[in-house]
Amino acid sequence: MSAVLEILACALLLGGAAFALVGSWGLAKLSDFFMRLHGPTKASTLGVGGVLLGSMLWQAAQGAPSLRELLITLFLFMTAPVSAYLMANAALALDPKARPQVPPPPQAPAE
């Protein structure tokens, strides 16, 4: 395996791990449901995707490309946004007061 592929695989693994850590930290530390929903759906999805891409690159460089990591990555990127959307809509249906207020229309400038 060439040094460039090793560096790229390590960068993807470390970057993915860092994003997953930030997403997990957001899930644990943020205060409200909608804020907690944002961390795992954005940062953790990107983090797990980076780790899986690094794993795919490593397996391909070893001469045994794996379809399993590609399918997991595609499934993750398709299902995480949909599940977050459905959870947010369910939370808004349970508590309509959580919906943000509509801002008033802009006023016409006085002449």
Can you say whether residue 63 is alpha, beta or left, with left for phi > 0 and alpha for psi between -120 and 50 degrees? Answer: left
Global pTM reads 0.72
Residue at 110 is within a domain: no
Residue at 58 is within a domain: yes
Q: Assess whether pLDDT exceeds 80 at residue 63.
A: yes
Residue at 64 is within a domain: yes
Total domain count for the chain?
Answer: 1
Q: Assess whether pLDDT exceeds 80 at residue 111.
A: no
Q: What is the pLDDT of residue 1?
A: 64
Q: What is the pLDDT of residue 34?
A: 81
Residue at 106 is within a domain: no
Question: What is the domain extent for residue 68?
Answer: 3-93
Q: What is the pLDDT of residue 14?
A: 94
C-alpha distances out from residue 22 to 3, 51, 104, 105, Å: 28, 14, 36, 37
Angle 86-31-84 from CA coordinates, rounded to 5°: 15
Residue at 109 is within a domain: no
Mean pLDDT of 39-68: 85
Residue at 101 is within a domain: no
Report the chain's mean pLDDT, rounded to a whole number. 85
Question: Which residues make Cβ contacts (< 8 Å) with residue 102, sequence separation at least 6?
Answer: none
Residue at 21 is within a domain: yes
Tens digits of residue pLDDT in 7-46:
999 999 999 999 989 888 888 888 888 888 887 788 878 8
Residue at 42 is within a domain: yes
Tens digits of residue pLDDT in 83-104:
889 988 898 888 877 777 778 8
- Chain centroid offset of residue 93 CA: 24
